[in-house]
C-alpha cells in the first residue's frame, strides 16, 4: 500500500502514511515523533562523516506531507531536536519562515534540551509533559502503558522507542521494519527520521501493526 491508509479511533480518522506520520482528519493536523533534527550535524561535529543530505531529506519529506494533507497544524510527539544548536537547526529556522502560518505543538522529549527561547524563536508551542486535544492524549514516553487514568482520555499517542516489527520467512530468514503499533489504548509512532535505531515491539493478537517498507505500508497483525 503506497497511499495513506485510514485508521479509525474513537470515531476519528487517522490517515497512516508510509512516510512515518499520521494525519488527523478531524483536526487537520499532521502528527510525527522523533524527528531528531540536528542529529547528523551532531555526528559530524564528533568527526563522523554523516552527509547533511539525510537532514535535508527529512525536511523535504515533512514538507511534502504537509502539502499532501494540507495540514494546518503539526503535532510533534517529542524528540523534535537531538542535542545542542548547530547549523542544521539554523537551516530549520529558515524552513520555518516558509511555513510561518503552520501551528506547531511540541510535547518535549528527552532530547529536546535546547533553551525554551530557541523554540519560541521558531514559533513552536511547548508542552512539558502532555498535550490533550478533544480527548486524545499526546506524550513522548509512557513507560507504564497502563489503562488511561482519566475517563476523558480516549486514546494516547507516544513515540520515543522507535518501534519495529520482525517478519520471518522460510527457514531462518527474517527482516525488521519500522512500524506503527496500535495497542488497545495507545499507539507508538515510528521515528520520522530515518537516521535512528529501532526497538522490537511484541504486539498482542489483534493489535494492528503497519510495517513500513520503503514507500509502502504492510498490515502485519
CATH number for the domain spanning 60: value is 3.60.21
CA pair distance 160, 103, nearest whole angstrom: 22
CA pair distance 114, 207, nearest whole angstrom: 36
Torsion of CA 103, 107, 110, 113, to 10 degrees: 50
Structural domain containing residue 156: 5-219
Q: What is the pLDDT of residue 104?
A: 97
Q: Which H/E stretch holds residue 12?
A: strand 12-17
Q: What is the pLDDT of residue 41?
A: 45
What are the grid coordinates assigned to 175, written together? 527482516
The list of the chain residues with pLDDT below 70 reads 1, 38-54, 82-86, 143-151, 169-171, 195, 197
CA 134 to chain centre: 20
Looking at the DSSP assignment, which residues form a beta bridge with residue 127?
107
Q: Is 86 in contact with 136 (CB distance < 8 Å)? A: no
Q: What is the pLDDT of residue 85?
A: 61
In tens, the pLDDT along 83-121 reads 666 678 888 899 999 999 999 999 998 878 888 999 999
Sign of CA dihedral 137, 124, 195, 24: positive
Question: CB-hemisphere CA count at 13 Å for 94?
Answer: 7
Q: What is the DSSP letter of 210?
A: E
Which 3-state string (H, E, C) describes 33-97?
A: CCCCECHHHHHHHCCCCCCCHHHHHHHHHHHHHHHHHCCCEEEECCCCECCCCCHHHHHHHHHHH
Helix (H) and strand (E) counts in the chain: 4, 16
User: Is the whole-model pTM more than 0.85?
Assistant: yes
How far apart, in Å, do the first and last CA atoms of the chain sit? Answer: 15
Alpha helices, H only, the chain:
39-45, 53-69, 87-98, 116-121
Q: What is the pLDDT of residue 108?
A: 92
Q: What is the pLDDT of residue 44?
A: 45
Question: CB-hemisphere CA count at 13 Å for 101?
Answer: 4
- Tell me how many domains the chain contains: 1
Q: What is the pLDDT of residue 38?
A: 64
Q: What is the pLDDT of residue 81?
A: 80
Q: What is the pLDDT of residue 139?
A: 94
CA pair distance 104, 80, nearest whole angstrom: 11
Amino acid at each position: 500500500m503506497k497511499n495513506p491508509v485510514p485508521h479509525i479511533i474513537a470515531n476519528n480518522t487517522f490517515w497512516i502514511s508510509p512516510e512515518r506520520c499520521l494525519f488527523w482528519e478531524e483536526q487537520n493536523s499532521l502528527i510525527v515523533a522523533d524527528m531528531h533534527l540536528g542529529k547528523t550535524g551532531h555526528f559530524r561535529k564528533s568527526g563522523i562523516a554523516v552527509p547533511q543530505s539525510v537532514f535535508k531529506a527529512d525536511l523535504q519529506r515533512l514538507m511534502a506531507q504537509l502539502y499532501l494533507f494540507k495540514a494546518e497544524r503539526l503535532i510533534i510527539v517529542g524528540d523534535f531536536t537531538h542535542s545542542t544548536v548547530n547549523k542544521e537547526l539554523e537551516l530549520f529556522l529558515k524552513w520555518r519562515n516558509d511555513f510561518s502560518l503552520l501551528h506547531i505543538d511540541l510535547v518535549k522529549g528527552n532530547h529536546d534540551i535546547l533553551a525554551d527561547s530557541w523554540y519560541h524563536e521558531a514559533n513552536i508551542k511547548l508542552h512539558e509533559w502532555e498535550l490533550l486535544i478533544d480527548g486524545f492524549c499526546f506524550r513522548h514516553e509512557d513507560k507504564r502503558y497502563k489503562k488511561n487514568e482519566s475517563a476523558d482520555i480516549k486514546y494516547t499517542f507516544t513515540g520515543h522507542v522507535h518501534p519495529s516489527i520482525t517478519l520471518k520467512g522460510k527457514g531462518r530468514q527474517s527482516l525488521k521494519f519500522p512500524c506503527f503499533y496500535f495497542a488497545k489504548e495507545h499507539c507508538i509512532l515510528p521515528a520520522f527520521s530515518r537516521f535512528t535505531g529501532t526497538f522490537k515491539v511484541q504486539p498482542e493478537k489483534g493489535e494492528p501493526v503497519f510495517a513500513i517498507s520503503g514507500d509502502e505500508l504492510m498490515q502485519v497483525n
